[in-house]
Amino acid sequence: MNRDLTVDDLLFAGIALASGLLAAFALRVLLRWLGGHADRTRWSGDDVIVHALRAVVPWAAVVGGVAGAAAVLPLTRTVQHTTNQVLTVLLIFVATVSAARVVAGLVRTVTQSRSGVAGSATIFVNITRILVLAIGFLVVLQTLGISIAPLLTALGVGGLAVALALQDTLANLFAGIHILASKTVQPGDYIKLSSGEEGYVEDINWRQTTIRNLSNNLIVLPNGQLAQANMTNFMRPEEQLTILVQVGVAYDSDLEHVERVTNEVIAETMTEVEGAVPDHEPIIRFHTFGDSRIGFTVILGVGEFSDQYRIKHEFIKRLHKRYRAEGIRIPAPARTVALQQGSVGIPQQRTGEIEPGGLSPARFD
């Protein structure tokens, strides 16, 4: 434009700018109200969406107000074009960052909702965030009139060299994607590897898997090593599992009485101990005529892997106390010692020790 700046131009520009600021304030209040309603819903995805909109929508209103003010001012064509490009780039940048937050937040919500114990698979979160930011960057270049075809060609050629230099990193990346896509391991699962490492899967990122063992220490494994290892997942196909407790009683015991007392202790333990599964039908099976006892196995149901230690602990204590009250003996092993002038049976007994795996005889020399 060739005309001079007038008071009316400044007035209209001020009105446009004030309208944009007022709209931004009103939209922010509205989105805060929507955020309060989103907090009361059961789905956490709406919280992510509203939080992202609170960042982009007010800025869009401000940019619109500035663009309206620039449109009514007598600016030259070059200045007007530059102003529009700057505002467009700013709006695309804010929208891209907000879109990346939304997509990454929704992916995190999905992974956390399927992880049993608190945890997140950041590999998907990071990949989606990078993809959205890359698309936004390409849109900005296209808006500025920069051709992206040569850039994509250079990235394709350079990507081959990078792939050759980062073979191990890319192998771990695709191994992590394969592990999560196949659903063999998810964050929150309790796993045990053939090499001995075991614990809860805390996170699977682009390079490594973090495992927290029961002593609250972290074990870090490359995704490729985890994908190739022989592994037991104690959370799949379901979290509930059964545990075996080995018990033995003396030969002079009334086995019907032993079974009845044991069932009563089982019922008491299943209803009172946290982590037990009262609906699981307990099983008692006599199986061995041992050297000094009749052995049997008690099969109990537990909610998840780490609950078994507490349940075994309580069950063995209560069973031992009840057996003593009922007069049911848990015999220690006897050994025959040969003397020089004949064989004399000398019973050597020691109080049986209670181990975490059940009631077992003590070892002695």
Each residue's pLDDT tens digit, 57-106? 787 777 777 777 777 777 677 777 787 778 788 878 877 887 887 777 77
- Please give the pLDDT value at position 162: 62
For residue 336, pLDDT beyond 80: no
CATH number of 184-233: 2.30.30.60
CATH architecture group of domain 241-326: 2-Layer Sandwich (3.30)
- Please give the pLDDT value at position 260: 92
Give tens-digit pLDDT for 224-283.
Answer: 888 888 888 887 777 788 889 999 999 988 999 999 999 999 988 888 888 888 888 888
Report which of residues 342 and 334 the model is more confident about: 334
For residue 357, pLDDT beyond 50: no
CB atoms within 10 A of CB 103: 18
Report which of residues 53 and 136 the model is more confident about: 136
pTM of the entire predicted model: 0.50
Q: Domain locations in the chain? A: 7-112+120-146, 184-233, 241-326
- Please give the pLDDT value at position 349: 47
Give tens-digit pLDDT for 187-200.
Answer: 888 888 888 888 88
Report which of residues 277 and 3 the model is more confident about: 277
- Please give the pLDDT value at position 176: 77
For residue 322, pLDDT beyond 70: yes
